[in-house]
């Protein structure tokens, strides 16, 4: 997800395998959004959560919240979260000492369990997948822009956003299309689809000096496109970060589903790890399979701490959560009680406070999230296996009054769908 808003991080690992975005649309359309007040003591594992790294994560969001107009709505998409002033007051009271974290949240926030349908208790359970920051190895730096540049090193290029990539806001032309964009390039005076992954891999952008750098492994590069951001180890041992800059406008196609359809795998066998193993074991077929996904990501160099989420702040491993931006505002604390990422792990549940700081094209639904695990092999392992089910509570400032349309009531009319209309 990371900044494939991450401007919209295509389909992340949870659906890399099966391409379930489309299958969930009918369910999404029927989902509402309701909040059931709760007590902190009712949150499983609340007291056991060591919150030393929660406050720094939240403080990054608070730094952005502090710059907003106090009188504006905190969350325009679904105005249940009060005004910026409510959050600015809560942020200003944040302690520096981690041992005070529990007392702080209990003093300034109220937890609300998230439901999709007040008449259906099962709607309080949702899907939580995982994502991570890949580590890649560089062949060498990109060539400088001059005629004396030696030939580019042999490797897989990572490209900057091309200067002929055009994104059009369709709402500027027809109000009923507000929020919809189309991406392409101008050819012969017309906007046409941009180059596909296959066309780019075959050299459509060659010789135009858009390369940031070259990496050693095409499979690593492909998974970097899925994640939207990553770290690259340079030949001198230094680390460079790259993050999402743009996407070519083509629909994401899950190659796990392609493997199933071709008979190479059974549905229950598909995971990030099994897909990677198959690609590495079949180098003669790997590129053709990856090209089945026409979506292609362009990158930009990143400076500073951590990969950037869609909120524009550095993500914190095991504390940053990607959410459905139509439902949950950036900067909101969200407590999770979900099944473990790895079924073989010692801990059977993940119970911890997260901060909504990212989004993704696959993250759609009322009780839905993508758990950021960080960087490295262990993070990749956990993210690749994560298909967790569980519950979520959003923490809202105590000074916020939740509107009746959203507030959970046992006698609420089943036809009411809250703000999801």
- CATH homologous superfamily of 13-133+306-397: RlpA-like domain (2.40.40.10)
Angle at 382 between CA 321 and CA 218, to 5 degrees: 100
Cα–Cα distance, 317 to 319 (Å, whole number):
5
Cα 275 → chain centroid: 20
Q: Write out the residue limits of the CATH 2.40.40.10 domain(s) in the chain.
A: 13-133+306-397
User: In the 3-class helix/strand/coil scheme, how is 297-361 assigned residue by residue?
Assistant: EEEEEECCCCCECCCCCECCCCCEEECCCCCCCCCCEEEEEEECCCCCCCCCEEEEEEEEEECCC
Model pLDDT, residue 421: 40
Total H helices, total E strands in the chain: 11, 17
Residue 328 has pLDDT above 60, yes or no: yes
So what's the pLDDT on residue 26?
44
Average pLDDT over residues 141-166: 73
Pair 252, 268: CB distance under 8 Å = no
Q: Give span(s): CATH 2.40.240.50, the chain.
A: 135-253+282-302
**More confident site: 351 or 154:** 351
Residue with tokens 């473990």: 340
Containing H/E element for 281?
helix 272-281
Q: Determine the Cα–Cα distance for residues 240 and 417; give it in Å rounded to an integer.
A: 46
Sorting pLDDT into bands at 50, 70 and 90, what band is 327? very high
Two structure tokens written together for 166: 């055009």
Structure tokens, 2: 């990371």
* pLDDT recorded at residue 163: 95
pLDDT at 223 over 70: yes
Asked if 175 and 167 count as a contact pair (C-beta separation under 8 A), the reply is: no
DSSP 385-406: H-EEEEEEEEEEETT----TTT
Global pTM reads 0.78
Q: Which two tokens stand for residue 14?
A: 């949870």
**φ and ψ at residue 390, rounded to 5 degrees:** 170, -165
For residues 198-230, b (16+ Cβ closer than 10 Å) or e, as one string?
bbbbeeebeeeebbbbbbbbbbbbbbbbbbbbb
Decide if pLDDT at 144 tops 70: no
- Burial code (b: 16+ CB inside 10 Å, e: under 16) for 14-46 equals bbbbbbbbeebeeebeebbbbbbebebeebeeb
Written as six digits, the tokens of 328 are 């949950």
Sign of CA dihedral 210, 220, 296, 131: negative
Residue 419: pLDDT over 60: no
Residue 226, pLDDT score = 86
Tokens of 136: 């890649």
Q: Which of 254, 314, 385 is nearest to 133 (CA)?
A: 314
Q: Which residues pair with 351 in a beta bridge?
A: 337
CATH code, residues 135-253+282-302: 2.40.240.50
Of the spans 15-19, 57-61, 77-81, which averages the highest pLDDT? 57-61
Structure tokens at 411: 């006698």
């Amino acid at each position: 997800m990371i900044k494939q808003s991450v401007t919209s991080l295509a389909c992340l690992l949870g659906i890399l395998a099966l391409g379930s975005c489309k299958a969930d649309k009918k369910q999404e359309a029927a989902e509402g959004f309701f909040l059931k007040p709760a007590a902190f003591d009712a949150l499983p594992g609340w007291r056991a959560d060591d919150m030393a790294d929660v406050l720094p994560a939240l403080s990054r969001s608070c730094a952005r919240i502090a710059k907003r107009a106090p009188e504006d709505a905190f969350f325009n998409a679904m105005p249940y979260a009060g005004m910026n002033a409510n959050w600015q007051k809560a942020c200003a009271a944040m302690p520096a000492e981690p041992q005070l974290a529990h007392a702080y949240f209990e003093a300034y926030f109220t937890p609300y369990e998230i439901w999709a349908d007040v008449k259906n208790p099962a709607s309080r359970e949702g899907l939580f997948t995982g994502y991570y920051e890949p580590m890649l190895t560089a062949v060498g730096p990109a060539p400088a822009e001059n005629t004396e540049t030696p030939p580019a090193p042999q490797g897989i290029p990572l490209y900057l956003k091309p200067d002929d990539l055009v994104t059009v806001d369709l709402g500027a032309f027809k109000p009923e299309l507000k929020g919809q964009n189309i991406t392409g390039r101008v050819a012969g005076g017309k906007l046409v689809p941009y180059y596909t992954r296959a066309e780019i891999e075959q050299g459509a952008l060659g010789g135009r000096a858009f390369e940031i750098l070259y990496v050693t492994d095409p499979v690593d590069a492909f998974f970097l496109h899925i994640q939207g951001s990553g770290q690259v180890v340079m030949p001198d041992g230094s680390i460079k970060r790259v993050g999402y800059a743009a996407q070519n406008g083509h629909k994401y196609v899950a190659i796990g589903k392609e493997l199933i359809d071709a008979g190479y795998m059974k549905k229950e066998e598909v995971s990030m790890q099994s897909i990677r193993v198959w690609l590495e074991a079949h180098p003669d077929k790997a590129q053709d399979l990856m090209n089945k996904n026409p979506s292609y990501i362009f990158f930009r160099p990143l400076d500073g701490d951590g990969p950037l989420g869609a909120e524009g702040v550095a993500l914190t491993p095991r504390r940053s959560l990607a959410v459905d931006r139509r439902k949950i505002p950036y900067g909101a604390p969200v407590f999770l009680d979900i099944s473990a990422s790895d079924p073989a792990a010692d801990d059977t549940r993940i119970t911890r406070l997260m901060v909504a700081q990212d989004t993704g094209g696959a993250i759609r639904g009322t009780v839905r999230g993508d758990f950021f695990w960080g960087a490295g092999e262990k993070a990749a392992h956990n993210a690749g296996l994560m298909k967790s089910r569980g519950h979520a509570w959003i923490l809202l400032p105590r000074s916020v009054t939740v509107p009746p349309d959203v507030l959970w009531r046992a006698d609420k009319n089943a036809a009411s769908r809250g703000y999801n209309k």
